[in-house]
Amino acid sequence: MTQPDEICFLSASELARNYASGKLSPVEVAEIHLTRLDRLDPALNAFQVVDREGALQAARKAESRWRQDAPRSPLDGVPVTIKDNVDMKGWPTRNGSTTTSAEPVAEDAPVVARLRESGAVFLGKTTTPEFAWKGLTDSRLRGFTRNPWALDRSSGGSSGGAAAALAVGIGTIAHGNDAGGSIRIPASFCGLFGLKPTFGRVPHHPVEGLFATLNAGGPLTRHVADAAIALQIMAQPDHRDWYALPAPPDNWLTGLQPRPQGLRLAYAPNLGEVEPDESVRACLEEKVARLREAGALVEDVGPVIPALQPTFQDFWRAGFAHLLRTLPQHQWDQLDAGFRSIAEEGLSVSVERLLAGEAARARLHQCFAHLYQNYDLLLTPTAPHVAPPAETIYHSPLYDRWRDGVAYTLPFNLTGQPAASIPCGVTEAGLPIGLQVAGPKYSERAVLEACLAIEALHPPAFPPLSSVEQEISVR
């Protein structure tokens, strides 16, 4: 193994095998990833901070453990990135906002603590839009994060920095979180696998605000198997999160196999009464046909649920209003104009309208519970469109949040169900398309095994580095 580009795209399991054999060292791998970061991130703008010293220090410790044949976990010495809306000891948590403190925090969030204990090597913290409010990644704090498949396109959001870096081979696993699609949308736009687990599966702290029961932490990866490895570590318990599920059994994700034969799959290309672009639908239906050939039963089930906006718009506005109330009014002028507009609209949402949204979540769950009486899993597009231009104004007439952003992803945050986005092809223009696989609560194993089957039908592809570097040299 001599080519740095090849090393940067190795899976976690491949890195572990090379560490165990002595063919590679964690220090060597960390240095290669950091060099790549230096070379490519000026064009991508995927990092809020880079922890070069911390990464190399962690890599040296991991190298020592591998030499002693005593790794802490399958992620010992594996390069990982952390989204900059969770706490990482010794670094500030900026949340994509100029209104936040630049002071370093004193302790790790649960997911960071578990990854650190596993021996992961943190390269740094990745960009997010202000308070992770939208499905694109740009902010006054950091500017635009760009898509490595086409630098004039958005990487998606709100885990946009995580996805952009990972797609171009910076890091092996990326941490993200998802309250409306923020793992799955950037995974779709950047040609990656992204898993939003069941709510409460991955502990989080601090937990506050109206969206606390929508948000779920999880991995973005280039390979489905890497996500299973990461999730087993991320899902370990932490006493600080009172929403957290009980710790899963040690073997809950071991022995995963692609199992298409006999799988009962519902297919809803127009979930929630939203139609995807023709190119997106054609790509998904080609994948559906191949799943049928592999032995799965796939049936079109129609929209399944009603349109989300009429029921949940007030709920969304009120959540941002809560955030707005936590900021001194003299800072409001610093905020993303789109975020501030939605938040100010939410200041007038009554308790009755807010509670109506909560009641509607239960009804939404009942729709899916009824569906899963007859099907194992549900297939939908991840997004109606491929990645839009990077400068797109979110929740505007040209890119509406409900129609163009979270139409297919938000339902599973409202119900707490696990859902993943897996690559299923690219358009003629070379932009990735994602297929969403969702299941009942606690069905991460079934979702992962279905995604392994889909991955076997369509092995992952990555952005052509030559074109990325050509665009970078022009810039």
DSSP string, 96-144: T-TTS--SPPSS--HHHHHHHHTT-EEEEEE--SGGG-SSS-EETTTEE
* Whole-number Å distance between alpha carbons of 371 and 373: 5
Helix (H, G, I), strand (E, B) or coil at 83: strand
134 is catalytic: no
Other C-beta atoms lying within 10 Å of the C-beta of residue 466: 8
83 is catalytic: yes
Q: Write down the catalytic residue from 73, 118, 155, 182.
A: 182
SS (H, E, C) 63-75: HHHHHCCCCCCCC
* Whole-number Å distance between alpha carbons of 231 and 159: 17
CB 284 within 8 A of CB 381: yes
* Whole-number Å distance between alpha carbons of 246 and 248: 6
Q: Write down the catalytic residue from 83, 125, 134, 287.
A: 83
> Angle 134-139-143 (CA atoms, 0-180°, nearest 5)?
130
182 is catalytic: yes
* Whole-number Å distance between alpha carbons of 66 and 63: 5
Nearest CA-CA partner of 171 in 15, 289, 281: 15
In sequence order, the 6+-apart residues with CB closer than 8 A to the CB of 31 are: 56, 59
Q: Write down the catalytic residue from 73, 139, 154, 158.
A: 158
Alpha-carbon dihedral of residues 90, 96, 98, 101, nearest 10 degrees? -20
Number of H helices, E strands in the chain: 15, 15
Q: Provide the token pair at 282.
A: 């054609």
* Whole-number Å distance between alpha carbons of 6 and 18: 13
Distance of CA 101 to the CA centre of its chain: 25
Catalytic residue numbers read 83, 158, 182
